[in-house]
C-alpha cells in the first residue's frame, strides 16, 4: 500500500495492481471513481484488468472511503484541486510508458477536464456533461431541481450529506458546487482558465466512452456532449447481462466483463 499527501494535508491510500504473468501491455490504467462509490467496489474491475495485462492504480478521493479523516465541515476541495493535485499524484505511481485515465461518472468528468490540459487518453464509463440542456424533456427540470437541492444542502451543512438524500455519502461542498455549476453552465464553463478556453480548448488525447443502455443517470446525450471535449473520440453502447439487477449506472461493477471486453478491444 502506497500513500501520498493531498494538498499537503490529507493522506490518500493508493492501490496498485500489477499486470499478471506474461500478458503485460505496458499500459497503466488509473481509475477515478464515481461520487460516493468506494474504491473497493472497483476491485473486480482492477483485478480483471490486471489479468488482461494492465497495471492498475486506484484510490478513494481524499477523506472518502478508506481515507481518513472523513469529510466534515472543516474539509473542502473542488474539481480544480482534484485535477491539479490528486490526479497528477496518482499518475506519478505509473511505471509504464503509457497511462490512461479511466473515469466512472464524476471520474469521467475529472479525467476529461484533466485531459484538455494534459492530452492524456481517457476511458469514460457512464459519464457525461450534465448541463441541463443535454437532457431530454422532464430530465432538464429534474437535474436542475437536484442541483439546486444539493447546493442548498452543501451550504447548510458545510459539506454534502448525501446519505440524507440517498445519493452517495459525505462529499465536500466544493465538489458538489462544481457539480451543480456544471448543471447550470456546462462542463466547459465550470473550470476553464479563461472565456477563450471555454470555447476552444480540446484534448488531443483520445476519448473513449462507454454508455450503458437504460442508464438514466448518464443517458447517451450527456456522454455525447462530454466527448466534444476531445478532438478524437468514440462512444460505444453496451447492454448489461439481463440477470444483473439494479441501477445500470453502478451495478456493472459487480460483473464488469462486458466493460473490460470493450477496453481490451480498444487498447
| pLDDT tens by residue, the chain, 267 residues | 799 999 999 999 999 999 987 789 999 999 999 998 999 999 999 999 999 999 999 999 999 999 999 999 999 999 999 999 999 999 999 999 999 999 999 999 999 999 999 999 999 999 999 999 999 999 999 999 999 999 999 999 999 998 888 887 899 999 999 999 999 999 988 765 544 555 558 999 999 999 999 999 999 999 999 999 999 999 999 999 999 999 999 999 999 999 999 999 999
Structural fold of domain 2-131+194-266: Rossmann fold (3.40.50)
d(CA 211, CA 82): 24
pLDDT at 101 (0 to 100) = 98
Compute the residue count for the chain: 267
pLDDT at 257 (0 to 100) = 96
- Threshold 0.75, pTM exceeds: yes
pLDDT at 190 (0 to 100) = 78
Contacts of 154 (CB under 8 A, 6+ apart): 160, 171, 173, 176, 177
Asked if 167 contacts 147 with a C-beta cutoff of 8 angstroms, the reply is: no
DSSP 54: -
C-alpha cell at 22: 506474461
Element housing 97 (H / E): none
Asked if 34 contacts 100 with a C-beta cutoff of 8 angstroms, the reply is: no
Query: What is the number of other CB atoms lying within 10 angstroms of the CB of residue 180?
Result: 23
Query: What is the number of other CB atoms lying within 10 angstroms of the CB of residue 198?
Result: 16
Alpha helices in the chain (DSSP H): 43-51, 79-81, 87-91, 106-118, 138-157, 173-185, 195-200, 220-227, 248-251, 257-266
> What does the radius of gyration of the chain's CA atoms come to, in whole angstroms?
17
Cis link prior to 69 (omega < 30° from 0)?
Answer: yes
DSSP 193: S
DSSP 84: I
C-alpha cell at 99: 497511462
Amino acid at each position: 500500500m502506497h500513500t501520498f499527501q493531498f494538498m499537503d494535508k490529507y493522506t490518500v491510500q493508493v492501490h496498485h495492481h500489477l499486470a499478471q504473468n506474461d500478458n503485460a501491455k505496458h499500459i497503466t490504467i488509473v481509475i477515478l471513481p464515481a461520487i460516493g462509490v468506494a474504491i473497493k467496489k472497483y476491485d473486480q474491475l482492477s483485478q480483471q484488468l490486471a489479468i488482461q495485462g494492465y497495471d492498475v492504480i486506484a484510490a478513494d478521493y481524499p477523506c472518502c472511503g478508506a481515507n481518513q479523516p472523513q469529510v466534515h465541515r472543516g474539509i473542502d476541495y473542488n474539481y480544480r484541486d482534484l485535477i491539479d493535485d490528486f490526479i497528477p499524484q496518482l499518475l506519478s505511481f505509473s511505471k509504464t510508458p503509457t497511462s490512461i485515465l479511466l473515469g466512472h461518472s464524476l471520474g469521467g468528468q475529472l479525467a476529461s477536464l484533466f485531459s484538455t490540459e494534459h492530452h492524456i487518453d481517457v476511458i469514460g464509463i457512464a459519464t457525461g456533461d450534465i448541463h441541463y440542456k443535454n437532457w431530454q424533456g422532464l430530465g432538464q427540470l429534474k437535474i436542475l431541481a437536484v442541483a439546486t437541492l444539493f447546493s442548498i444542502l452543501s451550504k447548510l451543512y458545510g459539506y454534502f450529506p448525501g446519505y440524507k438524500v440517498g445519493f452517495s455519502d459525505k462529499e465536500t461542498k466544493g465538489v458538489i458546487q462544481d457539480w451543480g455549476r456544471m448543471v447550470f453552465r456546462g462542463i466547459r464553463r465550470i473550470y476553464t482558465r479563461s472565456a477563450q478556453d471555454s470555447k476552444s480548448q480540446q484534448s488531443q488525447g483520445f476519448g473513449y466512452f462507454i454508455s450503458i443502455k437504460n442508464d438514466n443517470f448518464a443517458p447517451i446525450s450527456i456522454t455525447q456532449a462530454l466527448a466534444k471535449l476531445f478532438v478524437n473520440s468514440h462512444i460505444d453502447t453496451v447492454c448489461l447481462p439481463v440477470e444483473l439487477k439494479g441501477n445500470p449506472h453502478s451495478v456493472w461493477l459487480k460483473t464488469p466483463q462486458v466493460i473490460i471486453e470493450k477496453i481490451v478491444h480498444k487498447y
